[in-house]
A and B are shown apart, each in its own frame.
Chain A
Amino acid sequence: MKQENENYNKVLNLLRKSEPVLNSTEDIEREVIKRVIQSNRMQVFFSELVDFLFRWVYIGWVRKSLITVSIALVLVFVYQQGIILRRIDMLSHQTITIEKGNLPGQADEIEKLLMVYKNSGKRFSSKTVTFSEDQIKELLESVNELQIKYKDLENLIDGDPELKKLIEIKLIEKKLIDNNHKKTNL
C-alpha cells in the first residue's frame, strides 16, 4: 500500500515538471491579440453609442430642458393620479340603492299636486263643482256597475251568434232611419 502511494507521487511529480509541447506558438499569440482587439472594439463601439445617445448631456440648455420636462411629467402624473384616486374614494362613499322592482309610488305625486292645487286656487274653481260626498260615491259606484253590466252584455252577445246578427241588423236599420231623418230635415 505504501509502495503504491510512493509510485503515485512520483508519477505526479514527473507530470508537474514536464512542460507542454507548443508546436504553433505564433497561432496562439495571434489568437490572443485578435481577441484583445475585438474586446477593445466592442468597448469603443459601446462608448461611441453612449456618447452619441447622450451627447445632449453636455449641451446645458438641452439637458436642463429634458430634465424639466421629465420632472413636469412626473408631477402631472402624480397630480392626475392623486385627483383620480381622491374622486374614486369619494365615489365609494356614494349611496347604493337597492332595486326592488316596485312600480313607482304615486302617493308623493298626489300630495304634490294637491299642494299645488291648494296654492293655485284658480285651476279648479269651486263654483263649477257642486257635488256632495255621497253623490261622488254614488257616481263611482254607478260607473263600476255600468262597466260590469256592459262587459256581461258583450259576453252574452259574443256567445250567441243569432243574437249578435239580430243586433247588427237592428243597428244598421237604426243608422238608416237616422240618415233618412237627417235628409228630410235638410
Chain B
Amino acid sequence: MERKSVKIFISLFLVFMVSCNEPETVVTDYVHTDGSIMRKIEMKSIESDAIKRFKIPDIQVPLDSTWAFKDSIEVSQKGDTIWMRTATKQFQDADEINRAYKSDSGANKDYLRKAVFIKTFKWFNTEFRFSENIGKELLYGYPVKDFLNKDELLYFYSPGDLKNSKESGPDSLRYRALSDSVKNKTDKWTEKNLVSEWIGEFSKLTEGKADSDMSVQSLKAREDEFVRITERNGNKLDSLWEHGIILREFIGEANALKYKVEADSALSIVTKRIFANFSDYSQKIVMPGKLIGTNGFIDSSRILLWPVKSDYFLTEPYEMWAESKVPNRWAWILSGLFLAFVLSGVIVKVIKKD
C-alpha cells in the first residue's frame, strides 16, 4: 500500500513539476549573408494566467528588456484562447548570440549552448553554414544511435506534431508499433547510461583507494550484469539501494560497506545529471539563398524545424545545422568570358595552322 501511494505521490509531483511556468516557445533564427541574425521568439500559452508565464526567468532562451515585444491573442480551432508574445532582436553575429547564452538568466541557463556561423567562398557559389549546438550532459553515456535503427532514430528525433499525426494517420498501427519500440529501447538506453555514468563517477570517487577489482575496467566489464539487476528489480530498486542490497550484489559485501558513501555520492551526481531540468522548445532556422543540407525537419511553411528536448543531448552534443548557397553571378560571367576567350584562341590557332 505504501509503495502504491509513493508512486501516486511521485506521479503527482512530476505532473506538477513538468507543468511549471514555461510557455510553448518557438525560436526562429533568420540568418543573413553577412552573418547577422534576426532572432524571433514566439511564446504561446493557453492558460488564463498566460502573462505570468512570459516572465524572463521562465523562458527557454536568453531574453531581456532590449528585445522588441508584441502581445497578441489568437483563438484556436477548438475555441481556446491562445496568448502570444513575440520578441525580436537583431544580432550582429553568432558571437553576440553566444554572449547572450553565457549571460542567460532564463529557464535553461545551466546548459551549454552555442551558435556557429561559417561562410565559405567557393568561386561559383558562396556557402553558408549555421548551427545551434547544445553540449552533452553525461560524461560516460552511450550514443542513442547504438540502440535505435535508422527508422527508430528518425522517429526519436521527430517533432511531437509529426509523431501525433503519424500515430493517428492511415498507417497508425505501424507508427504505434514504432513508437513502442522506440520507448522500450530508449528505456534500456537510459538504464545503461545510468549504470555507465554511475560506474564512471564511482570510479572517480574511489580512485587510489580501492583494489583492482574496483577499477573502471573491472566495473565496466560487469556493466551489463548491473543493468540486468536494475531491470530485474524495477520499481523496488530505490528501497533495495537504500538497504544496500544492490550495491552488495554489485561490488561485494565488504566493498559495499566500505564505499557506501562514495556509491551514494556517485548516484546523487548521476541523478542530478540525468534529471535534466530542461524546458523544451522548438528551434527554427531560415537560411539565406537555396538550402542544400540540414539535419532538421521542414515544416509546412518550408522553414527548418528541430524539437529541442533534454534526451537529444543527454549523451551526445545536439547540433541543429543547416547549409545553403548563394550563386556568385559575377564569377559565372567571368568564368564564361574566360572560357570563351581560351576556346577562341584555340580555334584561331587551328585556322591559322590550316
Whether A126 and B339, one on each chain, are in contact in the complex, defined by CB atoms closer than 8 angstroms, is: no
Whether A118 and B235, one on each chain, are in contact in the complex, defined by CB atoms closer than 8 angstroms, is: yes
Whether A88 and B290, one on each chain, are in contact in the complex, defined by CB atoms closer than 8 angstroms, is: yes
Whether B46 and A96, one on each chain, are in contact in the complex, defined by CB atoms closer than 8 angstroms, is: no
Q: Is A45 an interface residue (CB 8 A)?
A: no
Whether B345 and A56, one on each chain, are in contact in the complex, defined by CB atoms closer than 8 angstroms, is: yes
Please tell me the number of chain A residues within 8 Å of chain B, measured between CB atoms: 63
In the complex formed, the residue of B with least CB distance to A133 is: B5
Given A77-B124, A95-B298, A96-B299, CB of A121 within 8 Å of CB of B292 = no
- B335 / chain A contacts, CB cutoff of 8 Å: 73, 77
Whether A121 and B161, one on each chain, are in contact in the complex, defined by CB atoms closer than 8 angstroms, is: no
Interface of chain A: mostly helix, strand, loop or mixed: helix
Whether A88 and B190, one on each chain, are in contact in the complex, defined by CB atoms closer than 8 angstroms, is: no
Whether B299 and A114, one on each chain, are in contact in the complex, defined by CB atoms closer than 8 angstroms, is: no
Whether A122 and B342, one on each chain, are in contact in the complex, defined by CB atoms closer than 8 angstroms, is: no
- In the bound complex, CA of A102 to CA of B4 (Å): 33
Interface string of A104-125 (1 = CB under 8 A from B): 1110111111111111111111
In the complex formed, the residue of A with least CB distance to B12 is: A136
Whether B242 and A106, one on each chain, are in contact in the complex, defined by CB atoms closer than 8 angstroms, is: no
In the complex formed, the residue of A with least CB distance to B344 is: A54
Q: Is B316 an interface residue (CB 8 A)?
A: no
Q: Identify 22 residue pairs between A and B in the complex whose beta-carbon atoms are under 8 Å apart, listed by A's number.
A: A53-B345, A56-B345, A57-B346, A70-B342, A77-B335, A88-B291, A91-B292, A95-B298, A96-B300, A98-B165, A101-B82, A110-B11, A114-B10, A115-B187, A116-B190, A118-B238, A119-B190, A119-B191, A120-B274, A120-B275, A124-B6, A133-B8
* Interface positions of A (Cβ within 8 A of B): 50, 53-54, 56-58, 63, 66-67, 69-70, 73-74, 76-77, 80-81, 84, 87-88, 90-91, 94-106, 108-127, 129-133, 135-136, 140
